[in-house]
């Protein structure tokens, strides 16, 4: 049996060495006041906010208090002075290596409309709170103060005074009120209250507006993870992504002509128009007129051209330690191509300042390293947080009852796990670097269970055949086994071939196809663009699929969809419809089958987890959820590899080296791209 031993990484060493400025609120029942003033700006002591001669050395070169392109607009009378554009107390970003200089374009790439997560990872901002680079701290962002009561049922939040939308209008609690009452609670615009805005019983929070910058939220019961929600992804922007002054014109409650105007503009109605023009958290920012809080704002949407272009926000509300307004780079450009080899060719030619998506697998690693000098970039290893680089999920909610019965058979899944030669996968596809692993927390995780991670990993075709024999899967025609009801064990795996590790997934499943054929299971491979694959899994119209093992480390308790029928992004791949039931309380189609007791037991435990104020007790509850996942063996893992990698141009500064690769972490977001800078043109 292959087993894993706990191992350290650069990331865990950094975690151990870090001395957080802000204690993790999960460590106490009562949160701290996160002041946006003294503590966070202490590093700028000795430098006046608008000093032209700061004491600190500028190792990156001379710069002013704003970008030259903005200074020109001020001179022309098109913009107010920078001190009038910044908040009363701008958020100070501590640079990673050196003070930067203004200018340049960050070039990157996306595959198309379904690749919006890369936009979220790279140029996003606007959360009430934010995570630090080492993930240890939750600290101020748009909110300057964030207080909770003793039982975590009430939170008092103060917005950073003077933050402005990208068109210069102030951000106030009027925007918060609009975002909650007129968007989140509007059933035409939002189907089901977002879970971060409701208690664990599903009751929407109560919002009280205190003044222009302060508001209070109250939950029906304890909501101890609300602070973490407000520092994550879409969740942390629920109150700060809808500029009321702009969006009121499209909302029927504020414009009685909104419906007719939408129809006249070619939309199906006001809801379709509002969603198209004001839905920042959809997978693409398509409306250049939509005011945002991002460091760069949309100038050319992807739907209009072969590339998307984002330009610096003149009202961005963060500064460096010398008081110079961020971001340093003028633009971010995303070329559009669905061809991974075309992307890679551009990468090794040095055309991307930073990129860590799609081509950064083992198959391309050696060539990327070989071309570092000629391409003028460095290959930076990213630290894997996945339980496995490729987990395999059979669809337990399949519409076909006969297939559903097979896929729900735990013995069937155990047998097919024993039929996989993971060492061969490692030797052939993972460059001989990796260890076999099931979908379970990694050794770095406080939830690590070696037995869980290592169960059913032995490559033993004889044992696999015996398990299938004992379970009643007998030999059929053409060497393909059949279930007791005569259904052949012949299935199709749906693979997103332009996903993060899509190329290696296709190759791996092609090898597994031969391994499973040896025990009487016929597998077909259906590789397709991510958009098509996404439709299949969302409509649970697939036999089995593969995806990365999220939830291995950092995001164990949030990306839970390998451990239970729940989670973000549609939920568990092994039980998509049950996940929908858990999330919405109903399903879009008739429920194919009621969830069994072990599924609902996990749901009950997760409700307890979400409402438990004590962190140690929460951990014990989550371990119970994992114990059920271990027993049920919902999905099959393969190889825990060495992690992905990024190309970082030598001319790009302040990236700071390695970081975790994780969707919850949002690589590279916590590395603060707004303080990255370019030292010379390509």
43-53 tens-digit pLDDT = 333 333 333 33
Q: How far is CA 561 from CA 88, 557, 672, in A?
A: 42, 10, 28
462-501 tens-digit pLDDT = 999 999 999 999 998 889 999 999 999 999 999 998 766 7
Helices 340-348 & 362-370 angle (0-180, nearest 10): 20
Could you identify the residue written with the tokens 């922007």? 237
What residues of the chain score a pLDDT lower than 70?
1-62, 280-284, 499-500, 502, 681-682
Q: Is 159 helix (H, G, I), strand (E, B) or coil?
A: strand
What pLDDT is stored for residue 53 in this prediction?
A: 37
Own/partner contacts of 448-452, CB < 8 Å, gap of 24 or more, are 448/6, 449/626, 449/630, 450/3, 450/4, 451/630, 452/626, 452/629, 452/630
Q: Parallel, antiparallel, or unpaired: how do β-strands 296-300 and 307-312 relate? A: antiparallel
Total length of the chain: 682
If one counts every other C-beta atom within 10 angstroms of the C-beta of residue 428, the result is 14
The residues, ordered by sequence, that sit 6+ positions from 308 with a Cβ below 8 Å of its Cβ are 110, 119, 284, 298, 300, 301, 302, 333, 334, 336
Q: Nearest Cα to 284, choosing from 271, 307, 303?
A: 303
Element (H, E) at 71: helix 68-75
What are residue 209's DSSP bridge partners?
215
- Identify the DSSP state of 196: G
Query: Dihedral through CA 384, CA 386, CA 388, CA 392, nearest 10?
Result: -140
The residues, ordered by sequence, that sit 6+ positions from 417 with a Cβ below 8 Å of its Cβ are 438, 456, 457, 633, 636, 637
What pLDDT is stored for residue 500 in this prediction?
A: 65
Tokens for 560, please give them.
């839970």
What pLDDT is stored for residue 614 in this prediction?
A: 93
What pLDDT is stored for residue 191 in this prediction?
A: 83
What pLDDT is stored for residue 344 in this prediction?
A: 96
The residues, ordered by sequence, that sit 6+ positions from 204 with a Cβ below 8 Å of its Cβ are 184, 185, 193, 197, 198
What pLDDT is stored for residue 531 in this prediction?
A: 82
Structural contact between residues 179 and 126, judged by C-beta atoms closer than 8 angstroms = no
Q: Distance between CA 108 and CA 460 in Å, rounded?
A: 44
Structural contact between residues 646 and 668, judged by C-beta atoms closer than 8 angstroms = yes
If one counts every other C-beta atom within 10 angstroms of the C-beta of residue 535, the result is 12
What pLDDT is stored for residue 116 in this prediction?
A: 81
Q: How far is CA 549 from CA 403, 523, 559, 625, in A?
A: 24, 22, 9, 17
Tokens for 586, please give them.
């109903």
Q: Distance between CA 417 and CA 415 in Å, rounded?
A: 5
What pLDDT is stored for residue 18 in this prediction?
A: 31
Question: Which of 43-53 are b and which e, b meaning 16 or more Cβ less than 10 Å from the residue's Cβ?
Answer: bbeebebeeee
Structural contact between residues 574 and 394, judged by C-beta atoms closer than 8 angstroms = yes
User: What percent of the residues of the chain are helix, what percent strand, and what percent coil, each to the nearest 5?
Assistant: 35, 15, 50
Query: Dihedral through CA 667, CA 662, CA 23, CA 18, nearest 10?
Result: -70
Q: Nearest Cα to 233, choosing from 612, 550, 497?
A: 550
Q: Distance between CA 398 and CA 349 in Å, rounded?
A: 45
If one counts every other C-beta atom within 10 angstroms of the C-beta of residue 193, the result is 17
Could you identify the residue written with the tokens 């030292």? 679
What are residue 309's DSSP bridge partners?
300, 333
- Identify the DSSP state of 83: H
Q: Nearest Cα to 557, choosing from 616, 632, 626?
A: 626
If one counts every other C-beta atom within 10 angstroms of the C-beta of residue 18, the result is 14
φ, ψ of residue 499 to 5 degrees: the values are: -80, -175
Tokens for 214, please give them.
């302060």
The residues, ordered by sequence, that sit 6+ positions from 460 with a Cβ below 8 Å of its Cβ are 418
Could you identify the residue written with the tokens 């919002």? 207
Burial of 328 (0-12, 13-18, 19+ CB in 10 A): buried
Q: Distance between CA 119 and CA 111 in Å, rounded?
A: 11
Structural contact between residues 173 and 209, judged by C-beta atoms closer than 8 angstroms = yes
The residues, ordered by sequence, that sit 6+ positions from 28 with a Cβ below 8 Å of its Cβ are none
Residue 23 CA to chain centroid, in angstroms?
A: 23
What pLDDT is stored for residue 477 in this prediction?
A: 86
Q: Nearest Cα to 125, choosing from 333, 326, 358?
A: 326
């Amino acid at each position: 049996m292959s087993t894993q031993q706990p191992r350290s990484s650069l990331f865990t060493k950094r975690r151990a060495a870090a001395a957080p400025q802000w204690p993790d609120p999960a460590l106490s029942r009562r949160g701290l006041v996160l002041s946006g003033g003294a503590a966070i700006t202490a590093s700028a002591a000795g430098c006046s906010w608008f000093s032209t001669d700061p004491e600190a050395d500028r190792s990156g070169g001379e710069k002013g208090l704003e970008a030259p392109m903005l200074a020109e607009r001020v001179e022309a009378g098109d913009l107010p002075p920078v001190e009038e554009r910044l908040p009363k107390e701008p958020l100070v970003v501590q640079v990673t290596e050196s003070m930067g200089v203004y200018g340049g374009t960050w070039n990157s790439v996306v595959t198309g409309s379904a690749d919006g997560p890369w936009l979220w990872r790279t140029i996003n901002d606007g959360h009430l709170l934010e995570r630090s680079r080492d993930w240890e701290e939750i600290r101020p962002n748009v909110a300057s103060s964030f207080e909770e009561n003793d039982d975590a049922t009430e939170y008092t939040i103060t917005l950073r005074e003077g933050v402005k939308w990208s068109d210069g209008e102030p951000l106030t609690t009027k925007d918060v009120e609009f975002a909650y009452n007129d968007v989140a609670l509007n059933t035409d615009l939002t189907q089901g209250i977002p879970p971060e805005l409701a208690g664990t019983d599903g009751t929407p929070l109560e919002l009280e507006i205190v003044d222009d910058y302060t508001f209070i939220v109250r939950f029906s019961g304890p909501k101890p993870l609300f602070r973490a929600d407000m520092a994550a992804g879409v969740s942390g922007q629920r109150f700060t992504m809808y500029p009321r002054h702009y969006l009121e014109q499209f909302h029927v409650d504020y414009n009685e002509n909104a419906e007719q105007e939408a129809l006249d503009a070619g939309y199906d109605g006001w809801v379709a128009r509002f969603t198209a023009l004001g839905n920042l958290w959809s997978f693409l920012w398509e409306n250049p007129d939509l005011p945002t809080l991002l460091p760069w704002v949309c100038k050319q949407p992807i739907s209009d051209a072969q590339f998307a272009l984002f330009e610096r926000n003149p009202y961005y509300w963060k500064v460096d330690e010398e008081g110079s307004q961020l971001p340093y780079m003028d633009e971010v450009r995303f070329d559009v191509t669905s061809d991974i080899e075309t992307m890679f060719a551009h990468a090794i030619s040095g055309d991307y300042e930073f990129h860590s998506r799609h081509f950064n697998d083992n198959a391309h690693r050696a060539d990327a390293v070989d071309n570092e000098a000629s391409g003028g970039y460095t290959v930076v290893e990213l630290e894997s947080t996945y339980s496995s680089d490729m987990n395999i999920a059979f669809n337990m909610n399949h519409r076909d009852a006969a297939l559903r019965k097979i896929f729900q058979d735990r013995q069937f899944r155990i047998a097919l796990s024993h039929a996989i030669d993971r060492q061969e996968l490692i030797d052939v596809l993972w460059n001989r670097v990796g260890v076999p692993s099931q979908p379970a927390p990694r050794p770095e995780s406080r939830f690590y269970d070696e037995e869980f991670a290592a169960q059913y990993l032995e490559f033993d075709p004889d044992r696999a055949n015996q398990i299938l024999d004992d379970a009643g899967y007998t030999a059929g025609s053409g060497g393909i086994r059949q279930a007791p009801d005569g259904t052949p064990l012949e299935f199709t795996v749906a693979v997103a071939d332009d996903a993060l590790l899509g190329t290696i997934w296709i190759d791996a499943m092609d090898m597994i196809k031969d391994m499973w054929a040896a025990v009487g299971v016929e597998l077909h491979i259906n590789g397709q663009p991510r958009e098509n694959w996404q439709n299949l899994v969302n409509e649970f119209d697939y036999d089995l699929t593969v995806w990365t093992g999220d939830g291995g480390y950092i995001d164990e308790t949030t990306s839970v969809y390998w451990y239970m029928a729940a989670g973000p992004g549609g939920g568990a791949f092994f039980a998509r419809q049950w996940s929908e039931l858990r999330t919405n309380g109903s399903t879009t189609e008739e429920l194919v089958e009621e969830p069994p007791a072990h599924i609902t037991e996990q749901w009950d435990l997760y409700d307890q987890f979400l409402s438990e104020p004590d962190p140690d007790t929460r951990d014990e509850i989550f371990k119970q959820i994992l114990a059920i996942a271990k027993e049920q063996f919902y999905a099959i893992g393969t190889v825990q590899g060495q992690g992905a990698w990024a190309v970082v141009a030598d001319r790009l500064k302040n990236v700071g080296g390695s970081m975790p690769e994780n969707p919850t972490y949002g690589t590279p977001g916590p590395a603060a791209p707004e303080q990255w800078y370019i030292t010379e043109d390509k």
